[in-house]
């Protein structure tokens, strides 16, 4: 759970997770939500992916990101 907490400690990553909890988004769509440069958003997505919170699927030349089912269950149980 430590990697999940670390990934969620950043407000930008929490916002990305909130959006991905509602719908799948391409990397470009995620980047469009912020005033941050794309390389910065790419790093945030990589941290979320490496921590197992989100996953990416290549669709053509795009990557579509989605929340990993159950990735936040342990965090939710801890918060209760």
Domain ranges across the chain: 2-75
DSSP secondary structure of 2-14? HHHHHHHTSHHHH
Helix, coil or strand: residue 27: helix
pLDDT bucket at 17, cuts 50 / 70 / 90: very high
Architecture field, domain 2-75: Orthogonal Bundle (1.10)
Enter the pTM of the model: 0.88
The confidence score (pLDDT) of residue 6 equals 84
Cβ atoms of 45 and 54 closer than 8 Å: yes
Q: Mean of the pLDDT values across residues 6-22? A: 93
- Residue 1 pLDDT greater than 70, yes or no: no
The confidence score (pLDDT) of residue 23 equals 96
pLDDT tens readout for residues 19-72: 999 999 999 999 999 998 999 999 999 999 999 999 999 999 999 999 998 877
């Amino acid at each position: 759970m430590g990697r999940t907490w670390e990934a969620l400690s950043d407000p930008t990553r929490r916002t990305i997770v909130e959006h991905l909890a509602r719908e799948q988004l391409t990397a470009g769509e995620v980047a469009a939500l912020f005033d941050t440069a794309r390389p910065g958003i790419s790093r945030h997505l990589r941290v979320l992916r490496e921590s197992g919170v989100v996953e990416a699927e290549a669709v053509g030349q795009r990557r579509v990101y989605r929340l990993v089912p159950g990735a936040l269950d342990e965090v939710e149980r801890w918060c209760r």
